[in-house]
Amino acid sequence: MQLLNFPTYSFRFKNSENKVSIFDSIRKKFILLTPEEWVRQHVVEFLLNEKKYPKSLINVEKVVKVNGMNKRYDVIVFNSDGSIFLLIECKAPEVKIDQKTFDQIARYNLILNAQYLMVTNGLNHYFCEMDFENEKYTFLKELPEFNNS
């Protein structure tokens, strides 16, 4: 797998029928290793190790209804009150992050109302803080530390 723009983490792998899987510590199971999954697992480790977000408040790949259609978000971090602190969209490293990617996460966030957004392909990371009152977002240099209020 490709080297990503994250610190180095150690992962558990499993090989069966010539397919490699990676252990997801949030979902507590092995997931088929795709380029996007490789990015998603790095994001989860980044949240746990660098940002110190509690594992119990992280959710991975769940269905959300957007315009009546079932969509899947990649990663969410909840606040302790159940509201959504952070919504993350992961793309494979070869996928260029463009306006379409931001439109996708913005559509998801119309329903989820996350305070912060992160878009990454493992090489480039973009962080935004939502301003719901003025219906816009501001780009940040990095994600805030977790605040358990």
CA nearest neighbour of 43 among 81, 9, 70: 9
Q: What is the pTM of this model?
A: 0.91
Average per-residue pLDDT for the chain: 91
Query: Of all helices (H) and strands (E), which one includes residue 136?
Result: strand 136-140
Cα gap 38→84, rounded to integer Å: 24
Structure tokens at 106: 């913005």
Contact 94, 4 (CB under 8 A): no
pLDDT digits (tens, 9 = 90+) for 103-143: 888 888 988 999 999 999 999 999 999 888 887 888 999 99
pLDDT for the residue numbered 134: 83
